[in-house]
Structure 1
Amino acid sequence: MRYQNKLAAALAAAALCAPQAHAADATDANRALMRAFVDTAYVQKQVRKAYEAYVAPDLVQHNPNIADGREAAIAEIEGLLKHPAARFDVKHVVVDGDMATVHFRGSLGNGMSAAVVELFRLRDGRIVEHWDAFQVIDPNAQARNPHPYF
């Protein structure tokens, strides 16, 4: 009888651990995907290549100024990067399960920049949903702390 109880306890423990292992595997896979996406789109500025490789065609967009779909996102970002001095300085990429966050300084090459946080949801190896928030950086503002924005 004790053997059966120990076996049942071991099986129950294994069942409880399995989803966590799966979640860790998903986080690792999604972290690799996001690092590749960020490098291709933000660092190399190969927006179309990044979006075609890592973003679902039917991307759900929560930015009210951009239509749903991968092509609308490509057009928007390629438009932002038209100026040769435009760039994204990525500070953090955080991935947990099917959610990813990218925190960066975006500069459009016209003297304007912003602290940006983008949130992505991933499914089946693709980015399927996107949110973002911007904080315009005013170079003339007096910060109340020594570490504004980043």
Structure 2
Amino acid sequence: MQTRWLSSAALVAAAMSAASAHAADPTDANRAVMRAFVDTAYGDKQVRKAYEAYAVPDLVQHNPNIADGRDAAIAEVEGLLNNPAAHFDVKHVVVDGDMATVHFRGSLGNGMGAAVFEQFRLKDGKIVEHWDAFQVIDPKATARNTHPFF
């Protein structure tokens, strides 16, 4: 069995290549953007401030019930949060490269709620695209397991 040894120069080159690849990965920076966006929009309920700071004006919207553009997204989310009983409990924020997913429990205070996944695409530190999907949480329904939704 032959053992291969790398020269010091090869090790340094490999380390520099790995560091360069890591530096080009936007995950850490986008994670900070998404955490700030989520905290501001859902935690502080400052929707306009969050979208104006972290989303582009021409935001592409994939929810067929919301028009394209940052202002349409602001109007939609502000409309939900204007209900004093509205509550959004963020469970997870997952970021990989330029894609981010926010998983939360939402309720408008009427006894019903939803498990929501929002998917965002970021470019240059700004949200440029949005998708969402949800499952209605019916408090009268019986789950077939002990861990539905979360």
- Percent identity over the alignment is 77
Question: In 2, distance between residues paired with 1:139 and 1:84?
Answer: 20
User: What is the SS of the residue equivalent to 2:127?
Assistant: strand
Question: In 2, distance between residues paired with 1:129 and 1:62?
Answer: 8
Question: In 2, distance between residues paired with 1:111 and 1:7?
Answer: 65
Question: In 2, distance between residues paired with 1:10 and 1:129?
Answer: 40
Match of residue 80 from structure 2: 80
Q: Cα deviation per residue 1:78-97 (whole Å; 9 max; x = unaligned)?
A: 11112101011000011111
Which is worse superposed, 5-14 or 27-36? Answer: 5-14
- Map 1:40-119 onto structure 2 (within 5 A): 40-119=40-119
What amino acid sits opposite 2:28 in the alignment? D
Match of residue 129 from structure 2: 129
- Map 1:14-53 onto structure 2 (within 5 A): 14=15, 16-17=17-18, 18-23=20-25, 26-53=26-53
Q: CA deviation at 1:11?
A: 7.0
What amino acid sits opposite 1:27 in the alignment? T
Question: TM-score with structure 1 length normalisation?
Answer: 0.88
Question: In 2, distance between residues paired with 1:109 and 1:76?
Answer: 17
CA contact (8 A) 2:111 2:139 kept: no
Match of residue 148 from structure 2: 148
User: What is the SS of the residue equivalent to 1:71?
Assistant: helix
CA contact (8 A) 2:63 2:132 kept: yes
**Structure 1 runs not aligned, ≥5 long:** none
Match of residue 14 from structure 2: 13
Q: CA deviation at 1:12?
A: 5.5
Question: In 2, distance between residues paired with 1:133 and 1:48?
Answer: 22
Question: In 2, distance between residues paired with 1:116 and 1:101?
Answer: 10
